[in-house]
Structure 1
Amino acid sequence: MPSHRRPKQQHPRYAGVVTATAAAAVALSAQQAGADPLPDPAKKGVQAQVDRLYEEATQATEKYNGAKERADALREEAGLLQDGAARKQARLNELRDRIGVLAAGQYRAGGLDPSLQLFLSSDPAAYLERAAALERAGERQAAVLRQFTEQRRTLDRQRAEATAKLRDLGAVQKELAARKGEIQGKLRKAQRLLDNLSAKERNRIAAERERADRAGARADLGSEKSVTGRAAAAFAAAQSRVGLPYVWGASGPNSFDCSGLTSWAFRQANVSLPRTSQAQAAVGTRLDSLGDLRPGDLIVMRTDLSHIGFYAGNGQILHSPKPGAKVRYESIARSGMPFMWGVRIG
C-alpha cells in the first residue's frame, strides 16, 4: 500500500541556504558562459590583476603602434611636400630673374615710340628686324610670366598641404603621448602590485614566468609544412627570435611586441605588413578554422584583434605575449585568449 505519511518539511533556514546556493550556482554558470577568458581580479588575487593590467597595456600598445604609423606617414608626406616646395621656390627665383632680364632689355630697346624710331633710323630694314626680335622677346617674356604664375599657384598649394599635414601630425603626436602615458601608467601600477607582495610571492611568480619561458622555448610542432615560401621564411625568422624580450612598441631585431614580431619577421621575407595587429588581421587570405592553419600563417587573437602571432603547428602559437615575457611557443588552448581567425600571406 502506498504510504500516506506527509513528506518531511525542510527547516526554513536550511531551505534558504539551498535556494541561495542554487541561485549562486546558476549565476556563476551564467557568468562563466559569457565571461572574459581572463581571470577576475577580485577572485584570483594580485597575479590576476597584474595579468589584466598587462593585457590592457598590450591593447593600448597596438593603438600606440597605429598612431605611430600614422605619425611616421604624415611626417614623411609633409617632408616630401616641403622639399618639393623648396625646389619649386628655387625655380621661381630663376624665372623671376629671367623676367627681370627680359624686361630690362625691352625697356632699353623700346625707349622711343616705334614709329619715330623707324622715321629716324638710317637703316629701316635693320630696325624692322630688331623690332621683330623684340616682339619675339615679348612673347618669350609672356610665356615665362605664365609659367611663373602657374608654378606660384602650385607652390602655394603644396605649402598649404604641408601645413595641413603638420597640423594633423601635431594631433597624432598628442595621441601618441596619451597612449604612451596610458601604457606606462598600467605597467607602473602592475609593478607596484608586484612590489607589495612578499618576497616569497614575488619569487614564486618570477619562477613561474621563467618556467613558462623555458617551456615556451621549445615545443613539439609536428610535421606540418608552410603553404607558401614567404610564410616559411617569415616563420623561420620569427623562430630565430625565441627567447628575446617583449617590449611595448618594439619591432626588432632584439625586442618585440606582438605585431612588432610578425611585421619584422615578414620584412625578412621581403614582405611589408602594416604595423598593428588589427591591420595585419585584414591582409592576405582569411582562414576561419584552426584546422586550416599551417606553420607561418598569422593567427589573430582576442575579440578586439589586439594580439597576433604565428601559427607554429600542432596547436601552438609562436608570439611575443606580454610585458615580462619572452618570445615563445605556447598552446593556443592554454593561452587564455580566444582565437578569431588566421591569415595566410602568399
Structure 2
Amino acid sequence: MPRHRDAAHRKPKQRLFTGPAARTAATLALAGAATAATLEGAAQADPRPTPAQVEAQVDRLYHDAEVATEKYNGAKEEAAASEKALDALRDEAARRTERLNTARDALGSYATAQYRSAGIDPAVRLALSSDPDQYLERASYEDRAGDRQASAISGVRRQIGDIAQLRARAEDELTVLASRRADLRKHKDEVRTKLADARKLLATLTAEQRAGYERSADAAHGGGATRADRSAPRGSVAAPNARAAQAVGFAYGALGKPYVWGATGPSSFDCSGLTMAAWRAAGVSLPRTTYTQINAGQRVSRSELAPGDLVFFYPGVTHVGLYIGGGQMIHAPRPGAPVRIAPISEMPFAGATRVA
C-alpha cells in the first residue's frame, strides 16, 4: 500500500504543551480544581449563624471577659502586695546592713587600738605605771571592754544572719512577684481576646442588627439610666445609715460613666471597681474583686436587702452591683454599656453582703 495512504490512516500524534502554554494550562487546571473544592466546601459548610445566635455568642464572650477581668483585678492586687512586701524587705535589709557596717567599723577601731598595745606585757605596764591603783582600774576597764567586744562580735554575727534571712525572703518574694505578674499578663490577654472576639462577631451583623442588639441589651439591663439620668430620683427606701447613703449617692453620680475593665474611677469603672469606689467615698475600704468583696461584710438574704448592700451574680460570683432599693441596683454592666440602674432580677443571683 502506498506510503501516503498509510500516512492518511495513521492516528494524529498528540502534542504536549510546552513553555508558556504549559504554564497557562496548569494554572487553569489548578483554578478549576480550587473552584470545585470551594463549591464542595461551601455546600458542606455550616450555615451562617443567625443574628440571635451571634448575639448569644457576644453575650457569652462579654461574660467570659468579665470573669477574666475579675481574675486580672485579683492578680493585679496580689502583684501590688508582692511589690510592697519586696520593697519593705529590701528597705529593712538596707537599714540593717548600714547598722552592721557601723558595728564593724567600731570593732575595727577597737581591734586597731588593741593591736597597738598588745606587745606590752601587763606586768611591765604595771611596773611602768606611776600609779598602780590607776593601772588596776584601767585593767578592770579593759576586761569589761573585752566583754563588750565579745558581745559586739556576737551581735555582728547575729546581724549577718538576720540580713541573710531577709535577703532570702526577698528572693522568695521576687519569685512570687514574677508568678503574679505572669498571671496578670495571662488574664489581661484573655480579656483582650474575649473583647476582640466579641467585636468581630458584632461586625458580622448589619448596622440595624447591631442597633437592635444594643437596644435589647439596654432593655435587659434596666432600660439604661445613662449620663442624662444622673438626676434620676433616689429610691424610696432609705439607706440604713449615713455611710450607706454616701455610697449610694456616689453610685448615682457615676451613672452614665463608661465601663472600662480594670478601672476604679473616677471617670470609668468595671463592676467591682464601681462598688469599691462607692464605698471608698463613704470612708470604707473594700477589697478589689467580686469574689473578695462578697466576704467583706455581713451576708444578708435577698429579702433583707437595703440600699448600699452589695449584690452578687452568677456562679463563681463574677458580677456585683450596689443595691439602691425597690429591687434595683446601680452597676457597671459590660463594655459598651455605661453605669446604669437595673433590676437585680436580670442575672442569676449569687448572694448579698452588708458592708456597714
User: TM-score range with shorter-chain normalisation?
Assistant: 0.7 to 0.9
Instruction: Identify the match of residue 268 of structure 1 among 281, 284, 290.
Output: 281
Q: Conserved in 2, the CA contact under 8 Å of 1:230 and 1:345?
A: no
Instruction: Identify the match of residue 178 of structure 2 among 142, 148, 170.
Output: 170
- Is 1:70 aligned to 2:70, yes or no? no
- Is 1:135 aligned to 2:135, yes or no? no
Q: Determine helix, strand or coil for the equivalent of 1:192.
A: helix
Q: Conserved in 2, the CA contact under 8 Å of 1:298 and 1:309?
A: yes
- Is 1:342 aligned to 2:355, yes or no? no
| CA displacement, residues 201-227 of structure 1 (integer Å, 9 cap, x when unaligned) | 234445556776873235675410111
Q: Determine helix, strand or coil for the equivalent of 1:225.
A: coil
Q: Conserved in 2, the CA contact under 8 Å of 1:258 and 1:308?
A: yes
- Is 1:216 aligned to 2:229, yes or no? no
Q: Conserved in 2, the CA contact under 8 Å of 1:221 and 1:314?
A: no
Q: Conserved in 1, the CA contact under 8 Å of 2:307 and 2:325?
A: yes
The one-letter code of the counterpart of 1:230 is R
The one-letter code of the counterpart of 1:131 is A
The one-letter code of the counterpart of 1:171 is S
Measured after TM superposition, the shift of residue 311 of structure 1 is 0.8
The one-letter code of the counterpart of 1:276 is T
Partner of 2:160: 152
Q: Conserved in 2, the CA contact under 8 Å of 1:228 and 1:345?
A: no
Partner of 1:256: 269
Q: Conserved in 2, the CA contact under 8 Å of 1:106 and 1:134?
A: no
| CA displacement, residues 94-152 of structure 1 (integer Å, 9 cap, x when unaligned) | 00000111111122223222233324445433332332222222222222222222222
Measured after TM superposition, the shift of residue 339 of structure 1 is 1.1
5+ residue gaps, structure 1: 1-40
How many aligned residue pairs are there? 303
TM-score between the two structures when normalised by the length of structure 1 = 0.82
Over 3 Å counting, the alpha-carbon distance change for 1:43 and 1:209 in structure 2 is closer
Partner of 2:11: none
Partner of 1:332: 344
Partner of 1:196: 204
CA distance in 2: counterparts of 1:42 and 1:300, whole angstroms: 32
Rg comparison, structure with higher value: 2
Task: State how 1:287-326 maps to structure 2 within 5 Å.
Answer: 287-288=300-301, 290-326=302-338
CA distance in 2: counterparts of 1:286 and 1:43, whole angstroms: 40
CA distance in 2: counterparts of 1:286 and 1:277, whole angstroms: 14
Deviates more, 1:230-239 or 1:114-123: 114-123
CA distance in 1: counterparts of 2:236 and 2:215, whole angstroms: 31
CA distance in 2: counterparts of 1:322 and 1:215, whole angstroms: 12
CA distance in 1: counterparts of 2:144 and 2:277, whole angstroms: 62
Q: Determine helix, strand or coil for the equivalent of 2:336.
A: coil
Partner of 1:15: none
CA distance in 1: counterparts of 2:202 and 2:143, whole angstroms: 87
Instruction: Identify the match of residue 225 of structure 1 among 212, 233, 238.
Output: 238
Measured after TM superposition, the shift of residue 68 of structure 1 is 0.9
Q: Determine helix, strand or coil for the equivalent of 1:304.
A: coil
Partner of 2:194: 186
CA distance in 2: counterparts of 1:291 and 1:268, whole angstroms: 26
Task: State how 1:108-119 maps to structure 2 within 5 Å.
Answer: 108-119=116-127
Partner of 2:114: 106
Over 3 Å counting, the alpha-carbon distance change for 1:138 and 1:150 in structure 2 is same
- Is 1:79 aligned to 2:105, yes or no? no
Q: Determine helix, strand or coil for the equivalent of 1:303.
A: coil
CA distance in 2: counterparts of 1:48 and 1:79, whole angstroms: 46
Q: Determine helix, strand or coil for the equivalent of 2:224.
A: helix
Measured after TM superposition, the shift of residue 241 of structure 1 is 0.7
- Is 1:283 aligned to 2:302, yes or no? no
CA distance in 1: counterparts of 2:251 and 2:98, whole angstroms: 48
5+ residue gaps, structure 2: 1-48
Measured after TM superposition, the shift of residue 271 of structure 1 is 0.7
CA-based RMSD of the aligned residues comes to 2.1
Partner of 1:234: 247
Aligned-residue identity in percent = 44
CA distance in 1: counterparts of 2:336 and 2:95, whole angstroms: 49
Q: Determine helix, strand or coil for the equivalent of 1:330.
A: strand
| CA displacement, residues 44-94 of structure 1 (integer Å, 9 cap, x when unaligned) | 321111111000000111111111111111110111111011011111110
TM-score between the two structures when normalised by the length of structure 2 = 0.80
